[in-house]
Amino acid sequence: MHAARLERARARMDEAGIDALLCSVGPDLPYLTGYEAMPLERLTMLVVPRDGDAVLVVPRLEAPRVEEQPGVFTVEPWDETEDPIARVVAHVGPARSIGIGDHTWARFVLALQDALPDARFRSATAVTGPLRVVKDAAEIEALRAAAHVVDEIAIAMRAQPFAGRTERDVHRELVERMLDGGHQRANFAIVAGGPNAASPHHEPTDRVISPGEVVLCDFGGTRHGYCSDITRMFHVGEPPADVCDAYAALVVAQEAGVAAATVGTACETVDAAARRVLTEAGLGDAFVHRTGHGIGMDAHEDPYVVEGNATPIVAGHAFSIEPGVYLTNRFGLRLEDIVVAAEAGPDRLNRAPRDLAVVG
Ligand code: ZN
Ligand code: ZN
Ligand code: ZN
């Protein structure tokens, strides 16, 4: 699998005129090799020359974690007293156009630029982006399995008490459940009660959740390299009419977004489909962000479901559809599912009930 991906990367390098590809921290490296670099001051870097063998330059103490793949790449550990930049430079050779991963730490990019004054550095996304954006069958199943974990959590939370608990306490429960459910990492767990939910990326606080409040829970993690991301809404006790009306519009908007996400449709058309519903309900100004983002090995990646992105959806694109309504000092609502585009139509990975769950 990784050999095939490297082969496709080399073909892209050819098209994009890139002589050498450098991948460090971030998802490009595990996508191409199965190995994820530690985000450390010690450099890990895969060097892929267009016409040479790929080499993974890795700190000696991390080398035992690398699963070697003969014929795909060789592992080259460097010792504590060595200069890893010199090793990378040696493998880059006479390359003039270098693609470097978006997540690479600036200190390494700067050191490489100093060591290779004649090279032109470009984003490795020119090579890896078009590959990673289209998920193969195994990747879709990995995303589905991750989605299933957070679905189960969303369902379990419907039976949990919220009133009297702090946002931080519910946050901790979501994180724990993601890890218990087989995620290696919890990436985020937004818990926003009452007026706090009007801030889309609210950080959980010690504020106590009270009866009569909405609670927005948006959480996701990483399972075997692939991300989950779901938002479900809870209400402590029976919701008042204004919340019910806004939520009803939100459900229709989300459905419209999902239904519009067919192969060949521009990403911005999907955004417009969800937005139109909220605008017609008088809530257009309260929907302050794009409709969605791509998801894969990164929690947020291409394709972005946003006005101005005319990219047509192709089978294998995976993205969130997550319209929201944010009313300052009152409440906020969001509903989010991950969708995979398929020739047969949009395939929603999340199956947890989408109604406003009434909790205690
Ligand atoms: Zn977000
Ligand atoms: Zn989310
Ligand atoms: Zn999201």
Taking only the tens of pLDDT, the chain with its 360 residues reads 999 999 999 999 999 999 999 999 999 999 999 999 989 899 999 999 998 899 999 999 999 999 988 889 999 999 999 999 999 999 999 989 999 999 999 999 999 999 999 999 999 999 999 999 999 999 999 999 999 999 999 999 999 999 999 999 999 999 999 999 999 999 999 999 999 999 999 999 999 999 999 999 999 999 999 999 999 999 999 999 999 999 999 999 999 999 999 999 999 999 999 999 999 999 999 999 999 999 999 999 999 999 999 999 999 999 999 999 999 999 999 999 999 999 999 999 999 999 999 999
> Which among 221, 222, 218, 220 is positioned nearest to 231, based on CA atoms?
218
CA of 91 to the centre of ligand 2 (A): 40
CA of 293 to the centre of ligand 3 (A): 6
CA of 186 to the centre of ligand 3 (A): 14
Identify the pLDDT of residue 273: 98
For residue 36, the Cα-to-chain-centroid distance in whole angstroms is 16
CA of 296 to the centre of ligand 3 (A): 11
Write down how long the chain is: 360
CA of 338 to the centre of ligand 2 (A): 9
Phi, psi of 320 (to 5 degrees): -90, 150
Identify the pLDDT of residue 68: 86
Identify the pLDDT of residue 75: 96
DSSP letter assigned to residue 24: -
The domain ranges of the chain are 2-132, 137-359
b or e along 123-145 (b: 16 or more beta carbons within 10 Å of the residue's beta carbon)? Answer: ebbbbbbebbbebeeebbebbbe
Both tokens of 276, joined, read: 């139109």
CA of 211 to the centre of ligand 2 (A): 24
Instruction: Give the ligand with the smallest distance to the CA of 201.
Output: 1
Both tokens of 11, joined, read: 């073909």
CA of 179 to the centre of ligand 2 (A): 17
Share of the chain above pLDDT 70, in %: 100
CA of 284 to the centre of ligand 2 (A): 20
Kindly report, residue by residue over 141-182, the tens digit of the pLDDT. 999 999 999 999 999 999 999 999 999 999 999 999 999 999
Check if the beta carbon of residue 73 is closer than 8 Å to that of residue 53: yes
CA of 201 to the centre of ligand 1 (A): 6
Identify the pLDDT of residue 95: 83
Instruction: Give the ligand with the smallest distance to the CA of 219.
Output: 2
Answer CATH for 2-132 from 1.20.58.340, 3.60.15.10, 3.40.350.10, 3.40.30.10: 3.40.350.10
Residues 6+ apart with CB under 8 A from 66: 35, 56, 58, 75
The owner of tokens 């969130």 is 320
| Dist. CA 69–CA 278, nearest whole Å | 51
Instruction: Give the ligand with the smallest distance to the CA of 187.
Output: 2
DSSP string computed for 27-56: THHHHHHS-----SSS--EEEEETTS-EEE
Instruction: Give the ligand with the smallest distance to the CA of 300.
Output: 3
Three-state DSSP class for residue 159? coil
CA of 230 to the centre of ligand 1 (A): 10
b or e along 82-103 (b: 16 or more beta carbons within 10 Å of the residue's beta carbon)? Answer: eebbebbbebbeebebbbbbbb
CA of 337 to the centre of ligand 2 (A): 8
CA of 294 to the centre of ligand 2 (A): 11
Instruction: Give the ligand with the smallest distance to the CA of 334.
Output: 2
CA of 181 to the centre of ligand 3 (A): 19
Q: What is the CATH number of domain 137-359?
A: 3.90.230.10
CA of 292 to the centre of ligand 3 (A): 6
Instruction: Give the ligand with the smallest distance to the CA of 232.
Output: 2
CA of 321 to the centre of ligand 1 (A): 11
